[in-house]
């Protein structure tokens, strides 16, 4: 029997990516819209990806009383002191589109290089970082389990590729000559920050499901 797993996000790209990454596990990945008639809005006011992921997982788990997975992730550019960081989804404003955020990133890098002629794309080292938080309201008193993954690369000044979402068209993946948006789905699911975080979460998810099954048997039996 598949176990239902709610993903605490309104980002369709993240939801579909997590569905693919968890396709080999005994879970049915559901959106918030699948399980709640009313929107569940969580204010992401944490200073770290971990704080935001835990907050989202806890609030959605409390609202739905279901096993919940939350993702908080973003881009960190060394030359910008780690920005956009936790503000990656709203770097250009609270309701910014991917295109607006990409434009804001390039503008910020242009400011850095205005007085430094000759700065190369390769100088803009960056990484995607993902933190996943898993919360079960009936197991471990709802305490979260956390896993993290990163993918290193560099920022290109010219967007390339039509796949992915967010900053993917600007992110050259280390060890390849492609941006994240140019990778096939299989390639991305081998190297992405989210794929690596899922790898770290698998055992925790399996143990949580086993604990749920044991609790159900104890109640029924």
Q: Just list the catalytic residues.
A: 72
The alpha carbon of residue 97 and the mean position of all alpha carbons in its chain are separated, in whole angstroms, by: 17
Please report, in tens digits, the pLDDT of each residue of the chain (221 residues total).
Answer: 789 999 999 889 899 999 999 999 989 999 999 999 888 989 999 999 999 999 999 999 999 999 999 999 999 999 999 999 999 999 999 889 999 999 999 999 998 887 555 544 446 999 999 999 999 999 998 999 999 999 999 999 999 999 999 999 999 999 999 999 999 999 999 999 999 999 999 999 999 999 988 887 887 76
pLDDT in tens, 159-193: 999 999 999 999 999 999 999 999 999 999 999 99
pTM for this predicted structure: 0.91
Measure the CA–CA gap between 29 and 18, rounded to whole angstroms. 8
Q: Read out DSSP for 90-143? A: GTT-TT--HHHHHHHHHHHHHHHHTT-TT--GGG-EEEEEEEEEEE-TTSGGG-
Look at the block and give the residue holding tokens 């560099």: 154
Query: Sheet of 3-7: strands edge to edge?
Result: 27-30, 3-7, 68-77, 125-135, 145-155, 171-173
Q: Which CATH architecture has domain 3-220?
A: Alpha-Beta Complex (3.90)
Structure letter (DSSP) for residue 28: E
Strand partners, 149: 130
Q: Where are the domains of the chain?
A: 3-220
């Amino acid at each position: 029997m598949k176990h239902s797993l709610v993903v605490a996000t309104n980002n369709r790209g993240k939801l579909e990516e997590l569905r693919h990454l968890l396709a080999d596990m005994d879970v049915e990945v559901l959106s918030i819209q699948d399980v709640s008639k009313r929107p569940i809005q969580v204010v992401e006011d944490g200073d770290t990806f971990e704080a935001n992921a835990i907050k989202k997982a806890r609030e959605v788990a409390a609202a739905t009383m279901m096993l919940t997975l939350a993702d908080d992730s973003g881009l960190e550019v060394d030359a910008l002191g780690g920005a956009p960081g936790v503000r990656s989804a709203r770097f250009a404003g609270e309701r910014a589109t991917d295109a607006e955020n990409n434009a804001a990133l390039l503008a910020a890098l242009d400011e850095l290089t205005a007085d430094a002629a000759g700065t190369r794309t390769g100088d803009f080292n960056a990484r995607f970082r993902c933190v996943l938080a898993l919360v079960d309201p009936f197991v471990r008193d709802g305490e979260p389990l956390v896993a993290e993954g990163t993918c290193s690369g560099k920022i290109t000044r010219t967007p390339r590729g039509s796949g992915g979402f967010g900053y993917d068209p600007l992110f050259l993946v280390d060890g390849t000559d492609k941006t994240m948006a140019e990778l096939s789905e299989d390639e991305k699911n081998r190297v992405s920050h989210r794929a690596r975080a899922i790898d770290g979460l698998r055992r925790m998810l399996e143990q949580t499901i086993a604990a749920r099954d044991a609790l159900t048997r104890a109640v029924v039996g």
